[in-house]
Structures are given as structure tokens and as C-alpha cells.
Structure 1
Amino acid sequence: MSLPTSQGSYSEPAVTGFPVAYPQAPPAQPKAQAQVDWSTGLCDCFSNFQNCCLTCWCPCVTFGRVAEIVDKGSTSCGASGALYTIICCFIGCGWIYSCMYRTKMRRQFMLKDSPCCDCLLHCCCEPCALCQEYRELENRGFDMVIGWQGNVDQNRGVAMIPTAPAVEPMSR
């Protein structure tokens, strides 16, 4: 951009060392993807009776399995389930921890926030919410018993082992 001088001609602006920001068009916003319904209803617990019983008697196992898949293996089933149990034992509100995973799962799979918000759902009906999350992951092809790494190995080939990038020698 050039500026007018006293003679009316244009010249380049003086370099001051200060960055000059010129107005630009705002970046285009990505289009929001449509949210989809859950594959099963909240009260379809008896479609997987075995998981329904497990969740009723030991919700920490169901939660741990869901958390491991949602976290893509960064936390183990055992660690998540143990933390859930500790929270339940000491403050009696494991739903506070589990509702965060429902929200994370909904965002990953673009699921609708229904029939109500995640925290209210886990507070009022924790076993049904955990069973629904478990069934959703099963219906998406995950074998919940073998965990994240087992699913990676079984369904998508052997997991990639992280390695350092190859370094090429420098030349001048």
C-alpha cells in the first residue's frame, strides 16, 4: 500500500519496525455437522441383559470400559474404573465424573444431547446412561471387553508404534 506525498504522487510507507495490520476478511467458519440420534434409547437396558446386570452391580466396570474407548486408550479401564469407585466411595457422586465422559463421547460421535443434558441424566439415572453409552460403542463396532488396544489390533491392523522421525544429514 502506498501513501500520497506532498506532490500528490504515491510512495511506499516508511519502515518503522512496528507491524501494521490491515483489515482482512474474517476467516470462514466451518459448517456445523448435523447431530445424529443415539443408536438405542435410554431405557433399552434389557437389549444387552449381561451389561445391564454388570452395570447394576458394578458400574465401575462399565464406566471403565466406556472411558477407555472414549479416551482412545490414553487411560485404562482399570484406572478409570478405580477413580470412579473412589469418587463414589468418598463423595458419593460418581455421576459427576461419568457425565464428563458422556459429553466427550457425544462430541466425538456427533450425538444429540437427548433426552436431557448429560449431568442431569447421569445424576438421575446413572445406570441407564452408562448402559446406553456402552451399547452405543458396541453398535459402532467396538468390542468393549478387549479394550481400545484390542480393538485397534483386531479391527484396524496392528497399532502403529510411535517412533522418532528420521533425521536427514544437513548439507550446506
Structure 2
Amino acid sequence: MTSKMVISQPQPVMEAKESDEWGSGICDCRQDVPECCFAFWCCPCFACKTTKKYGQCLCLPLLDMFGLIPPVAMSMRVSMRQRYGIKDTMCRDCLFATFCSPCTWCQMSREMRRRNIQVVLVSAKNT
């Protein structure tokens, strides 16, 4: 009879000790004026760029043009709140995504830049 021993190594856990609030308000465009101008004058391009940085499909925000409530802007905002542990409501997400789309995308871009967590591999070997 042969026995097999399986050893499982502890996995790294990334824990962010950040605030549970947005790092900037919905209308804090003065924090990055060129970015806000880009979002105002070409919101679809800015939204695509921000979505790509977030790790999603580049063209996903283009779906927002087909509905009354922009589902992609709203779902990205909800996803970002969950990822970063930001407390807010879906009602506010819906309102901001619907009536303040460029400001919403700017706020999400600022939040990603503010909470950028660098991943460092320790003892990684090149093969």
C-alpha cells in the first residue's frame, strides 16, 4: 500500500488598508483637469481607456449607447466599489452613471490611480 502526502503552501493574500470612501468626489475635476477635459469632450474614448486599465474588454463601454441607463458605467462603478471596499449605494451608482457619465468615469479613473496596488513576487524564479 502506497500513501501519498500532499502539502499545500499558504497562498499570498493581498490586503489593502484603505478608506471605505471614494478618494475623490464625483465633481472633483480640478484634481486632474486634462483627464476631465478628455472625458468631457470624448467620453466614449475615455470610458474605453479606463475600462481597459481596469482589466475589462476595451469596447465594453460602447454598449452604454444603446440604453436609457448605462449598464456598463453602473456595473463598473459597483465592481470598483466591491473591489476597493467602498461603501455607497446602487441607487447613487445608477444616478451618477445616468446623469453624470463623464464625471463618473473620471472618478473611477482617479480611484484606480489612487489605489494602485503593486504586486511584488518574492522568490520568483525565471525559467
Q: 1:45 to 1:99 in 2, by over 3 A?
A: same
Match of 1:49 among 18, 33, 42: 33
In 2 relative to 1, CA 136–46 (structure 1 residues): closer, same or farther, beyond 3 Å? same
- 1:66 matched to which residue of 2? 50
- Residue segments in structure 1 that go unaligned for 5+ positions in a row: 1-34, 143-154, 161-172
Letter in structure 2 aligned against 1:58: C
Do 2:97 and 2:104's aligned partners in 1 also have CA atoms closer than 8 Å? yes
1:115–1:87 CA distance, 2 compared to 1 (3 A): closer
Aligned partner of residue 32 in structure 2, secondary structure: helix
Contact 1:70 1:104 in 2 (8 A): no
> In the alignment, which of 99, 102, 106 is matched to residue 74 of structure 2?
99
Helix, strand or coil at the partner of 1:127: helix
The normalised TM-score by structure 2 is 0.66
- CA RMSD in angstroms, aligned pairs only: 3.0
**Offset of residue 67 of structure 1:** 1.9
CA distance in 2, matches of 1:54, 1:93: 23
Q: Structure 1 pair 121/136, CA: closer, same or farther in 2 (3 Å)? A: same
Shift of 1:64: 2.0
- Is the contact between residue 63 and residue 72 of structure 2 (CA under 8 Å) also seen in structure 1? no
Query: Does structure 1 retain, via aligned residues, the 8 Å contact 2:46–2:105?
Result: yes
Q: Which structure is richer in relative contact order (CA contacts within 8 A, separation 6 or more)?
A: 2
- After superposition, the Cα gap between the structure-2 partners of 1:112 and 1:56, relative to the gap in structure 1 and judged at 3 Å, is same
Structure 1 116/44 Cα, relative in aligned 2: closer, same or farther at 3 Å? farther
Using the TM superposition, give the Cα deviation of residue 103 of structure 1 relative to its aligned residue in structure 2, in angstroms. Answer: 0.4
User: Which residue of 119, 124, 130 maps to 2:94?
Assistant: 119
User: Percentage identity across aligned positions?
Assistant: 27
Q: What count of residue pairs does the alignment treat as equivalent?
A: 105
1:123 Cα deviation (Å)?
Answer: 0.6
User: How many Å apart are 1:138 and its aligned residue?
Assistant: 1.0
Residue identity in the other structure for 2:46: T
Aligned twin of 2:22: 38
List, as ranges, runs of 4+ consecutive aligned residues in structure 1 with deviation greater than 3 Å.
155-158
* Aligned-pair CA distance for 1:46: 1.9
Contact 1:84 1:97 in 2 (8 A): yes
**Higher alpha-carbon Rg:** 1
